[in-house]
């Protein structure tokens, strides 16, 4: 692990340890390293969550990138996995996410994806860090070499939503769901996504004000969602975190459906459809013994990695496995995404739920929690 980049990018308190000045230099360094690799002007996408500091950091990153001759494609407020997807779709050279995920609003972060939608390699991170920490004087772009800003934000949001819609194929008629957007990035995409489906979806915590992200809501605070599901008679409750790369659910009785239960249900559905490559689920050492027992009893192989979705993904890629994740709600479906995607996870669980034809509490009861 580097001095700046942790397991999930650069994190800190905005304005204190994560400043606009640092973001400017990160933008410069990333663009400079990509220019050296590519031999020509790089294109970098940037997406952000709803924290009050995200606009400041976005502006600084964009200025840094353009100052050394890189082009920028701002995606606006959008989930982390959407940045990974659109970086690949738009054939960009890298994608940057401004978010601190499930943390309080005062924190923020800078995470970089490569052109394939995966985490930037350790080698490239080290080169970026070296330029920043050594205060390297990078040559400024002048005249026609100055970087440009690309447009098309609304169309790109729609492209991501359409990609998610293409991941399921089942009858959703009559389904009623309550969706908690955590006053975060899902507020920008989840309403369009769920309203495009033949089900009834209602939403809570979709009015971000810069400081209410994850505040008493979302996947880390399921109380209001559970209460709303029970009082409103919904079939399911769906909760995202601030950057919508995690998803947890609640059943019709208000009980939590954690990442282990999501993986158990979705892996069995993949197996039923003949899409569970290697007949294997990849989890971490934090997974409950109930998941181990479920896999044993249902003829599934379970592989456990160190904690962290990056370790899960590394094992999935190494052995070609289809599904993996963490108890906390990061679930990776390799057929559709290069990283954890909360909205994709919600759709995959809904599909398994509709195919099962039983209440959610009954569906997940097969995977005990000890």
* String of DSSP letters for 196-235: TSSSEEEEES----SS-TTSS-GGG--HHHHHHHHHHT-S
Q: Which of 168, 199, 189 is nearest to 240 (CA)?
A: 189
Q: Tokens 């952000």 identify what position?
A: 48
Beta bridge partners of 256: 250
Adjacency order of strands within the sheet including 107-114: 10-13, 107-114, 94-98, 43-48, 71-77
φ, ψ dihedrals at 91, nearest 5°? 55, 40
Q: Using CA atoms, how far apart are residues 260 and 319, in angstroms rounded to an integer?
A: 21
- Residues of the chain with pLDDT below 50 are none
Annotated active-site positions, please? 101
Determine contact, residues 12/107, Cβ cutoff 8 Å.
yes
Distance of CA 340 to the CA centre of its chain: 5
What token pair was written down for 32?
A: 């400079």
> Which ranges of the chain does DSSP label H, i.e. alpha helix?
20-38, 54-67, 80-89, 122-133, 153-165, 190-195, 223-232, 259-272, 289-297, 309-319, 342-356, 360-364
State the burial class of residue 247 (Cβ atoms within 10 Å of its Cβ: 0-12, 13-18, 19+).
buried
pTM for the model: 0.96
For residue 262, the model assigns a pLDDT of 98
DSSP 8-class letter at 192: H
Q: Using CA atoms, how far apart are residues 97 and 57, in angstroms rounded to an integer?
A: 10
φ, ψ dihedrals at 217, nearest 5°? -150, 180
Integer-rounded Cα radius of gyration of the chain: 20
Determine contact, residues 117/338, Cβ cutoff 8 Å.
yes
Torsion of CA 212, 217, 223, 228, to 10 degrees: 100
What token pair was written down for 208?
A: 């971000």
Q: Which of 245, 239, 208, 244 is nearest to 225 (CA)?
A: 239
Determine contact, residues 194/201, Cβ cutoff 8 Å.
yes
């Amino acid at each position: 692990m580097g001095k700046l980049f942790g397991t999930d990018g650069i994190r800190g308190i905005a304005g204190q340890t994560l400043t606009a000045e640092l973001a400017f230099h990160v933008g410069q360094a990333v663009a400079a390293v990509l220019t050296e690799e590519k031999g020509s002007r790089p294109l970098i996408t940037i997406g952000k969550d709803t924290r009050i500091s995200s606009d400041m950091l976005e502006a600084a990153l964009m200025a840094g990138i353009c100052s050394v001759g890189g082009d920028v494609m701002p995606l606006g407020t959008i989930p982390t996995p959407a940045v990974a997807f659109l970086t690949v779709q738009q054939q960009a050279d890298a994608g940057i996410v401004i978010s601190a995920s499930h943390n309080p609003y005062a924190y923020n972060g800078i995470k970089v994806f490569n052109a394939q939608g995966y985490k930037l390699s350790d080698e490239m991170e080290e080169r970026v860090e070296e330029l920043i920490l050594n205060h390297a004087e990078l040559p400024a772009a002048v005249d026609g070499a100055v970087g440009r800003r690309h447009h098309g934000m609304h169309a790109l949001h729609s492209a991501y939503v359409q990609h998610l819609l293409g991941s399921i194929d089942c009858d959703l008629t009559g389904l009623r769901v309550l969706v908690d957007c955590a006053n975060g990035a899902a507020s920008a995409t989840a309403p369009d996504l769920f309203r495009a489906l033949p089900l009834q979806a209602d939403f809570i915590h979709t009015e971000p004000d810069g400081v209410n992200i994850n505040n008493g809501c979302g996947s880390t605070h399921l109380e209001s969602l559970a209460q709303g599901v029970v009082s409103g008679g919904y079939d399911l409750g769906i909760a995202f975190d601030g950057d919508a790369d995690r998803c947890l659910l609640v059943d019709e009785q208000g009980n939590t459906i954690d990442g282990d239960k999501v993986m158990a249900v979705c892996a069995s559905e993949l197996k039923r459809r003949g899409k569970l490559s290697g007949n294997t689920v990849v989890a971490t050492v934090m997974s409950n013994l109930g998941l181990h027992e479920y896999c044993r009893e249902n003829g599934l192989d379970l592989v456990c990695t160190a904690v962290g979705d990056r370790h899960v993904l590394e094992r999935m890629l190494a052995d070609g496995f289809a599904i993996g994740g963490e108890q906390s709600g990061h679930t990776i479906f390799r057929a559709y995404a290069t990283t954890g995607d909360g909205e994709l996870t919600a759709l995959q669980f809904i599909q398994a739920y509709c195919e099962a034809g039983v209440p959610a509490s009954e569906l997940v009861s097969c995977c005990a929690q000890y």
